[in-house]
Structure 1
Amino acid sequence: MTMIQCISPVDGSVYAERPVLSLDAAKAAVERARKAQKAWAKRPLEDRVQLVLKGVARLNEMVDEVVPELAWMMGRPVRYGGEFRGFNERSNYVASIAADALKPIEVEDSQNFARRIEREPHGVVFVIAPWNYPYMTAINTVAPALMAGNTVIIKHAAQTLLVGERMVRAFVEAGVPEDVFQNVFLDHDTSAALIAAGSFNFINFTGSVEGGRAIERAAAGTFTGLGLELGGKDPGYVMEDADLDAAVDTLMDGATFNSGQCCCGIERIYVHESLYDAFVEKSVAWVSNYKLGNPLDQETTLGPMANKRFAKLVREHVADAVAKGAKALVDPKLFPADDGGAYLAPQVVVDVDHSMAFMREETFGPAVGIMKVKSDDEALALMNDSQYGLTASLWTKDVERASRIGAEIETGTVFMNRADYLDPALVWTGVKQTGRGGSLSVLGFHNLTRPKSYHLKKVTA
């Protein structure tokens, strides 16, 4: 029997393992979901919304189990308390807009005609969730999909093997029917076979660019709807009128929190020459205050990366940049817990340029490159010199300037004076190799449903 294992970054042990479903067993799960979907969709919308919210509340009651599990599985320090704040905010917001987002568009209701557009659930939605924020990224699709009348099958990354199992347990205990929300453990071949067979009506995947390509290849010719949130190399731009201390605090947090393992983490920063030296000095001091260590220790502020192979890539990117003339400014002696494996010290790198992989490829770790710029045009060209486009963070007191520059940035979200935040009222989307589609907001509901038109001619005397 093939097993999926979660290797803990805390100590390298096997923290959890589960048997892989056979293709026949996986098909049976999909069939149960399909049979359950029509009855689920016929329930009143408010009933579905309330059951989802009860599931969210039930998961909150599991906090004492969930938080240390996350530390063991992917290394986030327990002091940060899991992902409940964002998880709850997103769930509550989509619940609050569900009725408006899904209500029919009335074109005409006259003596002669009734014309309207309604939103109809796709059917069975397959959610393939990542390990870096396994609860928050999953709920982005799970909550609105269920509220809209879809059934959901969820598959989590091996690194956070227990998350889908725990989410489903919470929702079922809260009253969501078992076949409406199911967790599965699948290998890549079985997942690809299900997708290629057109088993799902919509697929949402958050993960690597290569993972997205594999899903597109598997789905080719099936016309299955896809939502793909893939790589990122998000920039920050600090203009000469920025609040320097606020920019350092937010951008360094955005670059290093969760050991830099954030889809919208800041990976490269462009600073106006008038603030550059001060920004770099303050950034190095800020990052140097981290305490790297065991995530189960309440004093730890920076845990290990989720897997030693992820840390290896970060070290390779930094080393390559240094070999090409860059300078790494954070003293590694400040972080004795850096073991050359999953435990990795944060780093600030200067004298970088776009010939370096460190400034062009996704690093996904607690290391950030900083470049000096002379003008908005130079910063804009550098920000757009990327194969990715998820978010961009602009720092200025001038809203009109930020809006003007933001209009030229090839990205999904433009931030001004903040970073690394997902606003559930705004669609979460990207361009270029960051992916396609969008989650949350009214548009997220639209992506999880299809329009159906009604043109009804009334019988008149």
Structure 2
Amino acid sequence: MGQVLKCISPIDGSVFAERDTLDRDAAFAAAARARAAQAEWAARPLQERIDLVMAGVAAVGAMNDEIVTELARMMGRPVRYGGEFGGFNERATHMAGIARDALADIAVGEDETFKRYIKRVPHGVVFVVAPWNYPYMTAINTVAPALIAGNTVVLKHATQTLLVGERMARAFHSAGVPEDVFQNLFLSHDVTNDLIAGRAFDFVNFTGSVAGGQAMERAAAGTFTPVSTELGGKDPGYVMDDADLDAAAETLIDGAMFNSGQCCCGIERIYVHESLYDDFVAKAVEIVKGYKLGNPLDPETTLGPMANVRFADEVRAQIAEAVAAGAVAHIEKFAEDDGGAYLTPQILTNVTHDMRVMRDESFGPVVGIMKVSSDDEAIALMNDSEFGLTASLWTRDVARAERVGDRIETGTVFMNRADYLDPGLCWTGCKNTGRGGGLSIIGYHNLTRPKSYHLKKVTG
């Protein structure tokens, strides 16, 4: 028997959607259909696959008015922000545009005796396990290039955003992508583990928690199935003495608070040069006091509830522990803070790395701000983390940003911006953020395998 997955709306705690999971036999049958369909899909001309994928993307865009409200109900993002189609389309469009060059044969040499080259060939069946915080954009990072490269795709979406995979599959099928080529499945953890351990898939892409990534790797142990993981972060911002103070405050605080702080590359800790520290903190507090916490269906709301009460409870616990240890909380409790999913955004100072709020992933609307006196001090603090996804550097000096960036243990270095995923760059991390790389030409290389051809010509 399967289980019942329930999406609990953070707006009011009601059950917004529920779906039955597949039992083990049905799940393996679905994976087998994906495998059977893969060779024919890969044999289609590249341009045909690109056109079908982009038609699927457009079909998702046509649903956007419904999607925006649906996302608010499922995970709490305010409708005023208009959903995710802009980034969804940008990423798919970029990957479609670079596909021909990224997947082209690598010529090694040809003469009258030999022809040698390396092809990029699809893995086969790609399993995408997507998170709830940016459910469309994180999924398309892999779904679009995997399909374009000739793989078939099985998508498993987070329970909190239960309807996203269903909508994506419906859109892509309506555009002409065969049903067995792109499948959305509702799966329990146990059946998911059985599928991975049973070699139902040829590549696994997982975005989520460290514990979830570890579970994926354990399931794949001994199968030699590649597992690509992006497991979140504790991303720092560093405001140098020559920074544009207003721009730094506006961007870093938005990066810390947008989506109620539930961003993989959101800013979770900020280090500010002592010469700008007081002014930065004052501006940060002013910005946060201007937020409107409330029902995400209200177009006036700028900060919605966290996606789940247990996520908010963890953030409250980190804040309370920090304050008990001497941190200063600058934001008084908002009237709309109900002790549940609706949580007051918080700025903390007098924080140290002994506090969990500066060490553990918060994934909520809280940020700690520390004073530093030098690049060396800031670098040491930025690297004092088990995570390594992005870092945001604020300076007018590009060379200085490059020097500092070279010393930071992170997957991406931003200068004078934050919390953005550029599809032309490899989205990757280090340490407990996981390993792998999505988007860019490297994303295609990870979703294919090299196959070498060494062809000796008959000359006599």
Q: TM-score, normalised on structure 2? A: 0.99
Which residue of structure 2 lines up, in the alignment, with residue 431 of structure 1? 430
Which residue of structure 1 lines up, in the alignment, with residue 371 of structure 2? 372
1:231, distance to aligned residue in structure 2 (A): 2.4
Please give the alpha-carbon distance, in whole angstroms, between the structure 1 residues aligned to 2:37 and 2:259: 38
Match for 2:448: what amino acid? T
Which residue of structure 2 lines up, in the alignment, with residue 441 of structure 1? 440
Percentage of identical aligned residues: 70
Q: Which runs of 5+ in 1 are unaligned?
A: none
1:279, distance to aligned residue in structure 2 (A): 0.1
Which residue of structure 1 lines up, in the alignment, with residue 192 of structure 2? 191
How do 1:39-58 and structure 2 match up within 5 A?
A: 39-58=40-59
Per the alignment, in what secondary structure is the counterpart of residue 439 of structure 1? coil
Please give the alpha-carbon distance, in whole angstroms, between the structure 2 residues aligned to 1:347 and 1:66: 29
1:2, distance to aligned residue in structure 2 (A): 2.1
Per the alignment, in what secondary structure is the counterpart of residue 216 of structure 2? helix
Q: Is the CA contact 2:24–2:191 (under 8 Å) kept in the aligned structure 1?
A: yes
1:111, distance to aligned residue in structure 2 (A): 1.6
Please give the alpha-carbon distance, in whole angstroms, between the structure 2 residues aligned to 1:309 and 1:395: 34
Which residue of structure 2 lines up, in the alignment, with residue 136 of structure 1? 137
Q: Is the CA contact 2:84–2:137 (under 8 Å) kept in the aligned structure 1?
A: yes
Which residue of structure 1 lines up, in the alignment, with residue 419 of structure 2? 420
> Which 4+ stretches in 1 moved above 4 angstroms?
none
Q: Is the CA contact 2:112–2:457 (under 8 Å) kept in the aligned structure 1?
A: yes
> How many equivalent residue pairs?
459
Per the alignment, in what secondary structure is the counterpart of residue 187 of structure 2? coil
Please give the alpha-carbon distance, in whole angstroms, between the structure 2 residues aligned to 1:2 and 1:110: 61
Q: Is the CA contact 2:318–2:356 (under 8 Å) kept in the aligned structure 1?
A: yes
Which residue of structure 2 lines up, in the alignment, with residue 359 of structure 1? 358
Deviations 1:311-331 (A, max 9, x none): 000000000000000001012
Q: TM-score, normalised on structure 1? A: 0.99
Match for 2:411: what amino acid? G
Deviations 1:99-121 (A, max 9, x none): 00000000112221110000000
Q: Is the CA contact 2:34–2:182 (under 8 Å) kept in the aligned structure 1?
A: yes
Deviations 1:113-162 (A, max 9, x none): 11000000000000000000000000000000000000000000100000
Q: Does 1:106 align with 2:107?
A: yes
Which residue of structure 2 lines up, in the alignment, with residue 164 of structure 1? 165
How do 1:17-32 and structure 2 match up within 5 A?
A: 17-32=18-33
Q: Is the CA contact 2:232–2:265 (under 8 Å) kept in the aligned structure 1?
A: no
Please give the alpha-carbon distance, in whole angstroms, between the structure 2 residues aligned to 1:150 and 1:75: 33
Please give the alpha-carbon distance, in whole angstroms, between the structure 1 residues aligned to 2:297 and 2:401: 41
Please give the alpha-carbon distance, in whole angstroms, between the structure 1 residues aligned to 2:386 and 2:37: 41
Q: Is the CA contact 2:38–2:152 (under 8 Å) kept in the aligned structure 1?
A: yes
Which residue of structure 1 lines up, in the alignment, with residue 227 of structure 2? 226
1:336, distance to aligned residue in structure 2 (A): 1.1
Q: Is the CA contact 2:235–2:268 (under 8 Å) kept in the aligned structure 1?
A: yes
Please give the alpha-carbon distance, in whole angstroms, between the structure 1 residues aligned to 2:444 and 2:290: 42
Please give the alpha-carbon distance, in whole angstroms, between the structure 2 residues aligned to 1:375 and 1:103: 46
Please give the alpha-carbon distance, in whole angstroms, between the structure 2 residues aligned to 1:84 and 1:328: 36
Please give the alpha-carbon distance, in whole angstroms, between the structure 2 residues aligned to 1:63 and 1:157: 19
Match for 1:348: what amino acid? I
Per the alignment, in what secondary structure is the counterpart of residue 48 of structure 1? helix
Please give the alpha-carbon distance, in whole angstroms, between the structure 2 residues aligned to 1:179 and 1:46: 20
Q: Does 1:2 align with 2:3?
A: yes
1:33, distance to aligned residue in structure 2 (A): 0.2
Root mean square deviation, CA, Å: 0.5
Which residue of structure 1 lines up, in the alignment, with residue 238 of structure 2? 237
Which residue of structure 2 lines up, in the alignment, with residue 408 of structure 1? 407
Please give the alpha-carbon distance, in whole angstroms, between the structure 2 residues aligned to 1:378 and 1:310: 31
Please give the alpha-carbon distance, in whole angstroms, between the structure 1 residues aligned to 2:33 and 2:102: 28
Please give the alpha-carbon distance, in whole angstroms, between the structure 1 residues aligned to 2:296 and 2:390: 28
Which residue of structure 2 lines up, in the alignment, with residue 255 of structure 1? 256
Please give the alpha-carbon distance, in whole angstroms, between the structure 2 residues aligned to 1:231 and 1:320: 22
